[in-house]
Structure 1
């Protein structure tokens, strides 16, 4: 719409209109720019008239000249262009145009046209008028299509230019129109434009504007988009009065993106490729009395076929959108998904209920003398058997839509058997039959897995079986993908929790037949798995056992050490841990022997001093120092015990003395109480 308005604004500026310069009824101020240098020099600005699409003539000259046969002349130059004497000038001194072409009562076949005198028997006058009398055109040349006859018989100007958007006596042309014709039917103008001057415009709703989605070229159209009806090179909005005067709305239809007509309002016309055209201009249609065709040209193989009152060509649009082959004036095969089916030699729309079609059906087929719909429109859904387009689907059916195409399908938990929906197995959301192994998708809470026959089955969370684990997020039993693994779990990775019989889990990702790694052995309880011996732990990938505390660099021959870095086991089982526990060799050093055959200790009478066994030192009396030390220690302990016992004894006696008087007093009180009881 914006482009159209912009175009009209620019066109209006180019064809600027001015007020009439005189009181002559044969001048209305209409004019366009001149096309030649001579015209530009002698004609007043924007006062030329079109003669066809490319040539112009002058209607208002510069002072001193008058238009004779479209050329501005004076008394001297007129002899080369015509008889200037027939022109009654608007001003004898400073003329610019003629106000009559019958001076002295004789016009000699001249006629007045937009302020100029033209000879009706030669060009350019004969482009406008076929005959003249008394200086006036009596018969406009409508065959040339540059002018149309003014329907207002009281107006002075009988012939009006197609592009004159000012007009005479209330009748006017269409701005930018090159070819036109009188229109007898009702409308917004008195003419119908057949071709526009500008190549990138076309007659759209009685205006020369850009043609958009219509098929147009060289100023006119050959086909219209489905929103408009075609007629004589123009397109008219469906539902408007102009379109209704061409083809009644009940006879309008669409073929793909094109509009078409079944019967033309003007019975002298008939549909050709869906467009109303004069029957006299066609050679394929046998016309009926109702503005349509009853038959089409018979040829074999041929390309013409009859379709809803019109003759169509199977090799050109829109005909080829319907029919792929034809013969003898009939279609022999239709285009797939064209919305048309073939019954015998006649094509019908799928939604043509008057001819066994289905309401709202867009595409269909004809099977066993029955129309079967494959796609429904208008939000309706295809029934199971394709014989209806339904607004809703009753249980056990449901309405399913995708990309604006809807179908009735079996509700979740049902499958189609013939034209009936039956219940699936309880584990199946979608299925092809009643069995559990005929599932296509599982009911919520069930997991899918493929059995040994590659059939999809639905199982509970405990039914995945060996080699699979339940993945609730995926609603599936997923394979462990660990060779010889019986059960597994999914954490960050899949871990094997139990291997198949005869296999042991090495590191929860590999199952082996034995624990072959050094310091590795099978577990004694629980699921069989390889564990490390005491003092060893598994490495990063759990493939082998390594010491819990690796031996530091100052050790030699040790395979295991404690946290302080002392040797606890020799790498060579025939070696023993040496004194100081920093190395392993085959023999113990002097004055030492192997304890339990694995660690060297000093012999009796020797002590370890700086990783060496030395003899125990003695006193002057010959008693070994160690013996003397032990004796002294025993004496000290005995004395300490005696002192402790004495201290306890004295403290206990002292406590008894401090408590004695209080005890006697209480005893006296008790005796007194007894006496009082006796007295009673």
Structure 2
């Protein structure tokens, strides 16, 4: 799982019912995202307020019960009838609670909910009135011996610590302003500005070894602000941005250096530069990145995994955890239309622009250091390492030290038989060669050479071969069997006879359009195939020319945009 986001969100707010003095939580969530904002504290007892990193305002550990004997903190605010608000099972007295019933959890003398601010910042899951797990990312709390603590707890955590992790051992991951984490997990004051200003991590030698976001580590172990606005990490030259801040996407120059970090499109949680602008690579959990934008989930196009696509269907092209129509893939430069071909019902790329090679059908940058385990997969046909002029793989081999041998060569690219697109073509591989073809892939093996069924029988999606004779057993993606005799050899006809944008059909009608939508008498008009892609029928009619060769020592691969900040 490798770029970044601007989300417009409304917060979970708290108000006070003036007639009762009771805290009333309000939830206002805009565009599927929740951002915690300020809440006003009620009447706290003296010296009983505390703050929560990432949430503005103060909260109460104990309420002033001198006038309201039933007052206690509920979601951080003093509620004059706390036990009634919380419900049966609550034990609250003397301004604080000691027992909370489900769905509340006990924290700092109050009862909180995981779906209400600030509880959603404190705890991920709770049961039996106790928090069982702190949030996964940027947690400001931790659970120890069934008790929830702030990372800044001076007894169980570390003073001035804002975020932390705890897995039998406490580790502070970020400190409060003007403090920075040391190797022993504590936070030290940044008094020596020549050493510590904007420093994010101190080494064992008490020198700065990492800088805060927006700063680069220069010679002399000092941090200097990156000159590219919204840059998260810059090189030893503060003018060279390496990664943009979350919610911002990079624009590259011809040398693949980041020249600017710009706001991601609407609803994107991560984005990158592609073609003329930024495209979404990750969305909110109820959406998926299709054709570079975040849209409602479409399981006919994208196999979704919490805002990204794990595989693509209906002839779509996988790229950077998103799915692109063949038209959009060509338009944005993901894969030229004449280099696109089908594996199962996923379109992949056989050749990339210089400096990129196909790995699992996606064009990946040769000279990247972000995917170290890809360094031994692909090389030139003569066994030499890839270079800036490489456009495809000539040989494939497995990563050194891997427990299985899964990579095989397919039409200029290296594929892993355990990935979705790889196993749709080949179920097992050895020494860079497919040894068992997937019977539904539209391919067959001929003396260790993968050959497409459609190269022998147009439109064929599955076939058998014996003594050089090929027999089609079923039609491929974008075709249907026009032969009414079920026992006879299929007669494969293109679905485009029903409509130019049809990719799924039966003997009587179109069922599915090129964009994954259901056919309702017409399909959305595909972009011009002369400028940006292939027509519905052409998508499924591309012939795969494949030659498998034994693998050798690999070249250096990686994601073009794999260094995206998350």
Q: RCO greater where, 1 or 2, for CA within 8 Å and sep 6 or more?
A: 2
Question: What's the TM-score bracket when you normalise by the shorter of the two chains?
Answer: 0.3 to 0.5
Select the structure of larger CA radius of gyration. 1
TM-score (norm 2): 0.41
TM-score (norm 1): 0.35
